[in-house]
Amino acid sequence: MFILTSELFPAAPKRPLEGKVAVITGSGREAGLGVAIAKRLAEEGASIVISDLGQSQDEATPDRMIGSTSEMQEIADSIRALGVEVSTCPCDVRDKGQVEALAQHAVDTHGSLDIWVNNAGIGYIMKPMEEISEEDWRAVIDVNLSGAFFGVQAAAQAMKAQGSGGRIINIASQAAKSGFPFAQAYCSSKHGLVGLARSAAIELGSHAITVNNVCPNHVTTGLGAWQNEYFAEKLGKTLEQYKKDMADRIPLGRPGLASDTANAVAFLCSDQAQYITAESMNVSGGEEPH
């Protein structure tokens, strides 16, 4: 009798993040950084929670700049094709209670919370210094910095309760390291993420929870395309000249891709990065040297 053995037909290799559950805020817009990150982590085997506003909440969150409920669902459906569990959960990261509910959704729906990516952000309120209103300032800080802080809090609470460690990653920016014109609130919010990661990493290290930032340079997502047009106009350049000048100042000769940021996040979620915390990793093709 010929007996089939596991040595002849070994089980398919386990994907590195199989069994992990990842929440990605601001991941409900096609061609956005959040979607690229969600798909990359799904390729590694993680179950995914897609989260975005779902619908406009106020003037600071117009429909054209946020992920709708239907778009979130379409993204979730496309990621399921990678063979992982996916759910959606609307969340306004400015609301601490909604962020806590998002973390609980991951635990209740998928059984744990192992990876939290603070990706939600406002990068479309940019004006000359004198034109920035109090409302403009607060809108950017509330989403980009306070929203990330609430995310770190909620994720840490869930991860500590599980007792198995975890990974918290903030999508910062080159603007976390350098200043840019017309982006006072944005740069301030992203600089703040450096301090947040450094401080949180110290407190959470004993629980095997790492906290890091990923700092991409310009990425031409839907938002990035708007930024190209905005800065070209403000600097008195054609769009083509602005894009050429941007590429020329980057040692690797091109702006970032969404996949570049997603790959960095996947690395920080991997076992290879288990001893890396409190870092703000540049993903800028050499444009940002510190």
pLDDT tens digits in sequence order for the chain, 290 residues long: 444 454 555 565 689 999 999 999 999 999 899 999 999 999 999 999 999 999 999 999 999 889 999 999 999 999 999 999 999 999 999 999 999 999 999 999 999 999 999 999 999 999 999 999 999 999 999 999 999 999 999 999 999 999 999 999 999 999 999 999 999 999 999 999 999 999 999 999 999 999 999 999 999 777 778 788 988 898 899 999 988 999 999 999 999 999 999 999 999 999 999 999 999 999 999 999 98
- pLDDT at residue 12, rounded to an integer: 57
Catalytic residues: 186
Contacts for 155 with CB less than 8 Å, ≥ 6 apart: 23, 103, 113, 116, 166, 168
- pLDDT at residue 48, rounded to an integer: 98
Angle between helix 33-43 and helix 258-269 axes, rounded to 10 deg: 50
- pLDDT at residue 10, rounded to an integer: 59
Backbone torsion region of residue 269, taken as left when φ is above 0, otherwise alpha when ψ lies between -120 and 50, otherwise beta? alpha
- pLDDT at residue 1, rounded to an integer: 45
Output the pTM of the full model. Answer: 0.93
- pLDDT at residue 11, rounded to an integer: 61
- pLDDT at residue 9, rounded to an integer: 53
Residue bearing tokens 């996947």? 266
Q: How far is CA 63 from its chain centroid?
A: 20
| Proportion of the chain in helix, strand, coil states, percent, rounded to 5 | 50, 15, 40
Cα 84 from Cα 167, distance rounded (Å): 19
Q: Coil, strand, or helix at residue 221?
A: coil
- pLDDT at residue 31, rounded to an integer: 86
The residue type at 26: G
